[in-house]
A and B are shown apart, each in its own frame.
Chain A
């Protein structure tokens, strides 16, 4: 995946910026300009909080090209508190056991490197929500 394709997505990758449908209030991530719920135009920017919970998770042992150096890594389906679901790696687990329903929060991390050219790609991952001690 080349530079321009990643550059276009930086608001989503770094800031979890999506849309809210002005007609039916549906929260949309990633942005798509047509509401998947009511079918009307939806171009109003919406900032997601980054908070969500684990819907499911898995640890990948056999990684595709570009992710080999990260293997094994843990992927999750994270249900954002506003509604949409995203696929993301879990990080900062510190040997903590993952459970379905666990609260998590978004952080920005390195996702992968792009081969010999060494283009580093950053984006969202999720970590167990830190609470005050």
Chain B
């Protein structure tokens, strides 16, 4: 297959180091320590690169850790005091949005190297306080005050989707089963165990029809990326290099009820289209789609928004195995948010780490054979923000 990749600038933006922590309940690690673990792992892959800018992706630290200014805090803790540093927040899309800022800074030429770290510490608070913090991603005046939560938004969408499409109650089970099957062989995943269809069907309801296996678990975790302009690549990197071929963001209304069509994630439609145009690609060219499977319904809608399925048909991709590692459009290849874990601002960065390992051929038992072009997309709220990146190998297409 012949592909032509269009560059918007002379510089390729290259990822020279990636790192992440396992996802789970890290009682012994503070937000600083989580971040530093990921940063150290990423920097170890290219130790001579000194970052010139530092972007933190985080959404809940002010609410759950009583801590803001993570840019300065984490840069200082990582031994980078004085560096240009800030936090980027776009709810669940914070990770992708932070990468976008790094990409723009590098593209401008004013910065030659950048460190992106996504980190979330959710286990220092429990129960209703966490739920209230999560509800800040909805419309405070017109959704949260009514008792709307992100889970309730997903439930409202899922019920309508199944109704409109005449789909069976377990139509979305395949997304959960696929995620858990892949998480089983990912040592960083929060849940490393496959699940069966009967377990999905019997799972307790959280907000009906969303059951426990439709909803991803939130976890502590961190991930980091070290990026450079192509003319600053160190000479002795061990692993194949991956570049950012496209970067695109779009926004929409925050409230689910304000979306022109609630069943179409418009921000994802626009963001994907812009990214594919930048890279001169079509959905058929994408070998892996790390979508944001915060809920099974979002997996279906994301596939439709990106053009992998027609409206109302996304659920069928889960039913017939198209989303498996050896399928037509592998998703959640390391377990996704559902099994690997959902770490808020870190998720968008983790998706990039996972795609990099896929494109480097270092994905182990989770390897998608012959993966050359990967697309990552993270969403803020119920699609208020969508950030899409397309990654390819720097050399040897």
Which residues of A line the B interface, CB within 8 A? 1, 5, 9, 12, 30, 36, 55-68, 70, 73, 75-77, 84-89, 100, 111-112, 121, 123
Complex-state Cα separation, A70 to B145, whole angstroms: 13
- Shortest C-beta distance, A34 to chain B (Å), equals 13
Is the Cβ of B147 less than 8 Å from the Cβ of A89? yes
Q: Report the stretch among B104-112, B254-262, B337-345, B348-356 that lies at the interface.
A: B254-262
Is the Cβ of A58 less than 8 Å from the Cβ of B208? yes
- Shortest C-beta distance, B238 to chain A (Å), equals 45
For the complex, count residues of B whose C-beta is within 8 A of A: 37
Contact A112/B147 with A58-B159, A77-B256 known, Cβ cut-off 8 Å: yes
Cβ-based interface call for B143 (8 A): yes
Which residue in chain A gives the minimum CB-CB distance to B163?
A100
Cβ-based interface call for B360 (8 A): no
Q: Given contacts A58-B207, A65-B131, could you give 13 more A-B pairs where the C-beta distance is less than 8 Å?
A: A55-B156, A56-B262, A58-B208, A59-B207, A59-B208, A60-B152, A64-B149, A70-B147, A75-B147, A87-B257, A88-B146, A111-B146, A121-B145
Which residue in chain A gives the minimum CB-CB distance to B140?
A1
Picked from B135, B140, B152, the residue with its CB within 8 Å of the CB of A58 is B152
Cβ-based interface call for B2 (8 A): no
Is the Cβ of B145 less than 8 Å from the Cβ of A112? yes
4 closest Cβ contacts across the A-B interface? A64-B131, A58-B155, A65-B128, A65-B132
Interface residues of B in 243-270 (CB under 8 A from A): 253, 255-258, 262
Is the Cβ of A64 less than 8 Å from the Cβ of B159? no
Contacts of A111 in B (CB 8 A): 145-147
Is the Cβ of A64 less than 8 Å from the Cβ of B156? no
Complex-state Cα separation, A77 to B129, whole angstroms: 25
Contacts of B258 in A (CB 8 A): 36, 85
Is the Cβ of B147 less than 8 Å from the Cβ of A56? no
* Residue of A30, A59, A64, A100 most packed against chain B (CB within 10 A): A64
18 sample A-B contacts, Cβ–Cβ < 8 Å, listed by A number: A1-B140, A5-B141, A56-B156, A58-B155, A58-B159, A58-B207, A59-B205, A61-B206, A62-B206, A64-B131, A64-B149, A77-B256, A87-B142, A87-B146, A87-B255, A87-B256, A88-B146, A123-B145
- Shortest C-beta distance, B301 to chain A (Å), equals 14
Contacts of A55 in B (CB 8 A): 156, 160, 262
Complex-state Cα separation, A30 to B132, whole angstroms: 22
* Residue of B128, B147, B258 most packed against chain A (CB within 10 A): B147
Is the Cβ of B146 less than 8 Å from the Cβ of A75? yes
Interface string of B304-318 (1 = CB under 8 A from A): 000000000000000
Picked from B128, B208, B210, B262, the residue with its CB within 8 Å of the CB of A64 is B128
Complex-state Cα separation, A59 to B129, whole angstroms: 20
* Residue of A12, A36, A56, A87 most packed against chain B (CB within 10 A): A87
- Shortest C-beta distance, A17 to chain B (Å), equals 13
Contacts of A62 in B (CB 8 A): 131, 149, 151, 206-207
Complex-state Cα separation, A56 to B128, whole angstroms: 25
Contacts of A1 in B (CB 8 A): 140, 145
Contacts of A86 in B (CB 8 A): 142, 257
Cβ-based interface call for B148 (8 A): yes
Is the Cβ of B146 less than 8 Å from the Cβ of A57? no
Contacts of B141 in A (CB 8 A): 5, 9, 30
Contacts of A85 in B (CB 8 A): 257-258, 262
Contacts of A58 in B (CB 8 A): 152, 155-156, 159, 207-210
Picked from A64, A70, A76, A84, the residue with its CB within 8 Å of the CB of B134 is A64
Cβ-based interface call for B41 (8 A): no
Contacts of A123 in B (CB 8 A): 145-146
Complex-state Cα separation, A125 to B155, whole angstroms: 19
- Shortest C-beta distance, A16 to chain B (Å), equals 12
Interface string of B137-169 (1 = CB under 8 A from A): 001111111111101100111011001000000
Which residue in chain B gives the minimum CB-CB distance to A60?
B207
Which residue in chain A gives the minimum CB-CB distance to B210?
A58
Contacts of B129 in A (CB 8 A): 65
Interface string of B272-311 (1 = CB under 8 A from A): 0000000000000000000000000000000000000000
Contacts of B144 in A (CB 8 A): 64
Which residue in chain B gives the minimum CB-CB distance to A79?
B257
Which residue in chain A gives the minimum CB-CB distance to B143?
A87
Is the Cβ of A60 less than 8 Å from the Cβ of B142? no
Picked from B146, B206, B255, the residue with its CB within 8 Å of the CB of A89 is B146
Contact A77/B146 with A58-B159, A65-B129, A100-B163 known, Cβ cut-off 8 Å: no
Complex-state Cα separation, A133 to B258, whole angstroms: 36
